[in-house]
Amino acid sequence: MKALKCEMCGSNDVVKQDGLYVCQNCGTKYTVEEARKMMIEGTVSIDYSSKIGTWMNLAKKALYAGNYQEAYDYANKILEQDPENAQAWMIKMKTTAGLSTNGNPRTAEVISSGKNVVLFEPTKQEEVGLFFMETGINLLKAASKIAKEASDSIRELYHSYFQAYGKQYAIEACTEADNPQVEMFLNMGNLAYSLEQATKELPIF
């Protein structure tokens, strides 16, 4: 006979509460009969349809509140059980963009999620395409800001080094200091271009 193990998250912390067995890690509930099967067979078939509805509501609320990580996690839970759920892919696309940073824009994941939205619900092409373009514009704005801040910083650094060590040292030191910013700037520009190309691939555009 096997120990109780939650089929949702894999946790062994399952406790009986009010006549049901409840996973203390993710909150999944099992009837006595389900728990008995789990102990004997180590597995149990669960109807996730009601859970998907609950997760979807929680994901939407989290997205609306700007809690991107929470919404992203719920979207992934839904997709584990229903990989063709276009609404969950839409939430994943938007939250991935919300979780991105200048150093890690996660553009490939945004595009992949958006394409799955269109694959499973073609009527969402326009919404996905507009989101791609909006995300690309935001990348270009962020890149422009990085370039401006880097330019101001390098200018100050150059004057400081020039006065202390001379022109040649100032040029070499500033070039080395500026390279990471230039690489980030170029990368963000290329990613914005990839979003533009992904938009053009949608039939509606």
Q: Are 60 and 91 in contact (CB under 8 A)?
A: yes
For the stretch 115-162, pLDDT in tens is 999 999 999 999 999 999 999 999 999 888 877 777 777 677 667 777
pTM of the model: 0.67
At 65-85, the pLDDT tens digits run 999 999 999 999 999 989 999
Region of poorest pLDDT, from 24-28, 60-64, 98-102, 188-192: 24-28
pLDDT tens digits, 3-56:
677 777 777 788 888 878 888 888 888 887 777 777 655 544 455 677 888 999
Instruction: Please give, one letter per residue, the 3-state secondary structure of the chain.
Output: CCCCCCCCCCCCCEEEECCEEEECCCCCEECHHHHHHHHHHCCCCCCCHHHHHHHHHHHHHHHHCCCHHHHHHHHHHHHHHCCCCHHHHHHHHHHHHHHCCCCCCCHHHHHHHHHHHHHHCHHHHHHHHHHHHHHHHHHHHHHHHHHHHHHHHHHHHHHHHHHHHCHHHHHHHHHHHHHHHHHHHHHHHHHHHHHHHHHHCCCCC
